[in-house]
Amino acid sequence: MLKDLMQWRYATKKYDPSKKIPAEQLEAILDAISLAPTSSGSQPFEVFVVSGQVAREGIPTMGMNESLMTDCSHVLVFAAWDNYTAERIDAVRERGEVARGGPTELATAYYEGLKSLYLSLPEAVNAGHAARQAYIALGFAMLAAAEQAVDATPIEGFDPAAVDEALGLAAKGLKSQVILALGYRDEASDWLVNLPKVRKSREEMFTFVE
């Protein structure tokens, strides 16, 4: 059950460096990212799948997460568009036309409307919107990882400028937003592994409005 998967997963603090994720399990996680919903189906981000030891060491984190990069199996770097452009929106429309048998008046009008909206907004506003779409996919990735019995740790404590430089993101019009470490927990060394989850009560979390 979904609840059981969510109870099982946690933000793993210590990975077993000897264990690597099989290709089919990694693909299941990447499929979940591909199928995650985004605003207007735009998918305004790319995901860099980093597996090599040297490459992972080149992604600097801050604070207590430094060993995650070297001990985990894979690192996913979610990098969002730095802005919405006419060309990027046209590419989204064209993908839809290929998948759905050609252009329609309704779809064409819809995407022209998106251009009118996004191209009138400041770059920072559009970049923030794109980043939030990446976070939707991040959530799906973590659930898919749990379904595959793969541990995952979302990481915001990193130097975006350094990661952008390491992966050449600026040239692609991308900015790193969040990192997801993937691998298998080291149960003997991870202080968090056996602690109960701490969450707000339902009364604190939910307000029902009729």
- The pLDDT tens digits for 141-193 are 999 999 999 999 999 988 899 999 999 999 999 999 999 999 999 999 999 99
The Cα–Cα gap between 29 and 10 comes to 16
Q: Which residue has the tokens 């379904």?
A: 147
pTM: 0.95
Asked if 61 contacts 154 with a C-beta cutoff of 8 angstroms, the reply is: no
pLDDT digits (tens, 9 = 90+) for 39-61: 999 999 999 999 988 788 778 77
**Domain residue limits, the chain:** 2-84+123-205, 85-120
Architecture of domain 2-84+123-205: 3-Layer(aba) Sandwich (3.40)
Residue 40 DSSP one-character state: G
Asked if 175 contacts 133 with a C-beta cutoff of 8 angstroms, the reply is: no
The Cα–Cα gap between 204 and 185 comes to 31
Six-digit token pair at 69? 């990069």
Nearest CA to 127 out of 164, 177, 172 is that of 177
